[in-house]
Chains A and B, each alone.
Chain A
Amino acid sequence: MTTPLLVIVAFVLVSAVVGVVGRGRGEMNVERWSVGGRRFGVVLVWLLTAGEIYTTFTFLGASGWAYSRGAPAFYILAYGTIGYIISFFLLPPVWRMAKHLGLHTQPDFFLARYDSPPLTGLVVLIAVVSIMPYLQLQLAGLGMIVEIASAGAVSSSVAIVVAFAVTCVFVYTSGIKGIAWVAIVKDAAMIVAVVVIGIGLPSMYFGSVGKMLTELIRRHPTHLTFPGGTPTMGVAWVISTILLTGMGFYCWPHTFASAFSAKDDRTLRRNAVIMPLYQLPILLVFFVGFTALLVMPGLKNPDTALLALVGRSYPGWFAGFVGGAGAVTAMVPAAMLLLGASTLVAKNVYRPLRRAAVGEQHLMRASRGFMLLIAVTALALALWSPNELVKLLIFGYDGIAQLFPGIVLGVFVRRVTARPVILGLAAGVAVVVGLIWSAHDPFLGLNAGFVGLAVNATVTLVSIAILNVGPPGGAHVLEARR
Chain B
Amino acid sequence: MPSGDLVHATGRGTIGIVAKGRPVAALVSALIPAVALVAGLPFVNRLEPVVLGLPFLLFWILGWVLVTPVFLAVAYVLTDTKADRTAGGAGR
What residues make up the interface of A, taking CB atoms closer than 8 Å to B?
A: 39, 71, 74, 77-78, 81-82, 84-85, 88-89, 93, 96-97, 99-101, 208-210, 213, 217, 221, 224-226, 235, 238-239, 242-243, 246, 263-266, 269-270, 272-274, 276-277, 279-280, 283, 286, 474-482
Establish whether residues B80 and A85, one from each chain, have CB atoms under 8 Å apart when the complex forms: no
Bound-state CA distance A209–B9 (Å) is: 57
Establish whether residues B42 and A482, one from each chain, have CB atoms under 8 Å apart when the complex forms: no
Which residues in A have their C-beta under 8 angstroms from that of B33? 81, 85
State whether A85 and B68 are in contact (beta carbons under 8 Å apart), knowing that A225-B46, A239-B41, A264-B88 are contacts in the complex.
Answer: yes
| Chain B contact residue count (CB 8 A cutoff) | 51
What residues make up the interface of B, taking CB atoms closer than 8 Å to A?
A: 2-3, 6-7, 10, 13-20, 23, 26-27, 30-31, 33-34, 37-38, 41-42, 45-47, 50, 53-55, 57-58, 61-62, 64-66, 68-69, 72-73, 75-76, 79-80, 84, 88-89, 91-92
Provide a sorted-by-A list of 21 A–B residue pairs whose CB atoms are within 8 angstroms.
A78-B65, A85-B30, A88-B72, A88-B75, A96-B3, A213-B54, A224-B57, A225-B45, A239-B41, A265-B91, A269-B76, A274-B69, A276-B72, A283-B58, A283-B62, A474-B13, A476-B15, A478-B14, A478-B17, A480-B16, A480-B18
Closest-by-CB residue of A relative to B72 is A273
Establish whether residues B80 and A479, one from each chain, have CB atoms under 8 Å apart when the complex forms: no
Establish whether residues B57 and A71, one from each chain, have CB atoms under 8 Å apart when the complex forms: yes
Please report whether the interface of chain B is mostly helix, strand, loop or mixed according to DSSP. Answer: helix
B64 to chain A, nearest CB (A): 7
Which residues in B have their C-beta under 8 angstroms from that of A263? 91-92
Bound-state CA distance A217–B23 (Å) is: 44
Which residues in A have their C-beta under 8 angstroms from that of B79? 269
State whether A477 and B73 are in contact (beta carbons under 8 Å apart), knowing that A77-B61, A100-B7 are contacts in the complex.
Answer: no
Which residues in B have their C-beta under 8 angstroms from that of A96? 2-3, 6-7, 15, 17
Establish whether residues B55 and A217, one from each chain, have CB atoms under 8 Å apart when the complex forms: yes
Which residues in B have their C-beta under 8 angstroms from that of A277? 66, 69
Which residues in A have their C-beta under 8 angstroms from that of B17? 93, 96-97, 477-480
Closest-by-CB residue of A relative to B20 is A482
Closest-by-CB residue of A relative to B57 is A225
Bound-state CA distance A339–B66 (Å) is: 32
State whether A81 and B68 are in contact (beta carbons under 8 Å apart), knowing that A224-B47, A242-B38, A476-B13 are contacts in the complex.
Answer: yes
Bound-state CA distance A478–B16 (Å) is: 5
* Contact with B69, one of A74, A93, A208, A276 (Cβ below 8 angstroms): A276
Bound-state CA distance A96–B20 (Å) is: 14
Bound-state CA distance A84–B15 (Å) is: 25
Closest-by-CB residue of A relative to B3 is A264
Bound-state CA distance A274–B45 (Å) is: 28
B70 to chain A, nearest CB (A): 9
Which residues in B have their C-beta under 8 angstroms from that of A272? 72
Establish whether residues A273 and B76, one from each chain, have CB atoms under 8 Å apart when the complex forms: yes
B33 to chain A, nearest CB (A): 7
Which residues in A have their C-beta under 8 angstroms from that of B26? 89
Bound-state CA distance A39–B89 (Å) is: 12
Bound-state CA distance A296–B20 (Å) is: 55
Establish whether residues A89 and B68, one from each chain, have CB atoms under 8 Å apart when the complex forms: no
Bound-state CA distance A242–B35 (Å) is: 12
Bound-state CA distance A265–B87 (Å) is: 10
Closest-by-CB residue of B relative to A482 is B18
Beyond A39-B92, A88-B75, A97-B17, 6 additional pairs, beta carbon < 8 A: A78-B37, A81-B34, A225-B47, A226-B57, A265-B6, A481-B23
